[in-house]
Amino acid sequence: MEKYKLFDAEYKFASIVWDNEPINSTELVRLCTDKLGWKKSTTYTVLKKLSDRGILQNKDAVVTALVKREDVQKYESNAVVEKSFEGSLPKFLTSFLGERKITEQEAEELKQIIEEAVK
Amino acid sequence: MEKYKLFDAEYKFASIVWDNEPINSTELVRLCTDKLGWKKSTTYTVLKKLSDRGILQNKDAVVTALVKREDVQKYESNAVVEKSFEGSLPKFLTSFLGERKITEQEAEELKQIIEEAVK
DNA sequence: TCCTCAAGTCTATCGCGATAAACCTCGCCT
DNA sequence: AGGCGAGGTTTATCGCGATAGACTTGAGGA
């Protein structure tokens, strides 16, 4: 789903929406000024673009997300494994863990997640 | 290590080097023309930039890598988990796997990698 | 009626990554 | 002594994501 590809600025912006939706657009402008240092028009420009793409929605000055954060995250995770690890999750994991050590407890949690995906 | 951050074009280029090093620079130009559609000067421009950064090396017309592919991959994997998953590997894994199903064998392989990191 | 302010659009500008044109040097061959 | 190709640098140009300035519209209050 190429649709879910967000650029850096877009992702930061969308994150603010996800964290605060539903949110009034003027209030959102204020938040972006605080957290991103954006001017009003910048916020509206990005908001419009994401709305046109069906990612967000601005109706009667109330902004909500049409696409879930999880869906964008899923796209991101797949894209990286695809681009840098030939689509191989094992390769990704090996690289990520590296010499890094994890606790027995963390290992359990990860194995649990993996079990969940076996069917 | 911010040093390992490669842009898209740089990464594609470095990949060709990793796959073929040591390689003569003129030969590398030919490869880039074939695989990336680049002109000679484009190849040299990118090569110089990566050499200046200590990622690659061009000595007596022989190009080699000073930084291992694995190190760049490690940076990439960490960056994504950091940026999109609050640094949480479990969150990344959950998102990546999603409804996707994996075989018992693949699960074993993954668990093996995880075990390796416990200490 | 006029002012204000919320709400939003349209059209730049700007920085930077991606790509390349033009030019240079130097050894080698004829 | 002149051409030629390998090897390389310097200096643009270009596309696009990031950001914003200027302007518009419409409701509500003094």
Q: What is the ipTM of this complex?
A: 0.87
- Say whether pLDDT at B13 is over 70: yes
Give residue B35's Cα distance to chain centre: 17
Q: Amino acid identity, residue A30? A: R
pLDDT band at B6 (very low <50, low <70, confident <90, very high): very high
Tell me which residue range forms the domain holding B63. 2-69
Q: Which residues in chain A are contacts of B109 at CB distance < 8 A?
A: 90
DSSP state for residue A2 in the 8-state scheme: G
Assign residue A103 a region: left if phi > 0, alpha if psi is -120 to 50, beta otherwise?
beta
CATH number of the domain that A44 lies in? 1.10.10.10
Q: What is the per-residue burial (b if ≥16 Cβ within 10 Å, else e) of B2-39?
A: eebebeeebbbbbebbbeeeebebeebbebbeeeeebe
Confidence band for A118, pLDDT divided at 50, 70 and 90: confident
The per-residue pLDDT for A2 is 66
Cβ-based contacts with strand C at under 7 Å: A 24-27, 40-41, 44-45, 48, 58, 60-61; B 7-10, 36-42, 45-46
Q: A95, B70: Cβ pair inside 8 Å?
A: yes
Residue of B51, B98, B20 whose CA lies nearest to A70: B98
Residue B2 above 70 pLDDT?
no
CB contact under 8 Å between A77 and B92, yes or no, is: yes
From the list A73, A84, A118, which residue is nearest B85 (CB)?
A73
Q: Please tell me the predicted confidence (pLDDT) of residue A43.
A: 98
Please report whether residue A78 resides in a domain: no
Q: Show residues of chain A in contact with B97, CB under 8 Å.
A: 113-114, 116-117
Our measurement of CA B76 to C1' D17, in angstroms, reads: 21
**B46 falls within a domain:** yes
Evaluate whether residue B102 is within a structural domain: no
* pLDDT above 80 (res B104): yes
Indicate whether B42 pLDDT > 80: yes
What are the pLDDT digits (tens) for A97-108?
A: 987 778 888 999
Does residue B11 lie within any of the structural domains? Answer: yes
Structure confidence by residue, pLDDT tens digits, A2-45: 689 999 999 999 999 999 999 999 999 999 999 999 999 999 99
Please choose, from the candidates A119, A1, A91, the residue with its C-alpha nearest in 3D space to the C-alpha of residue B99. A119
User: So what's the pLDDT on residue B100?
Assistant: 73
- Domain membership of residue A99 (yes or no) is no
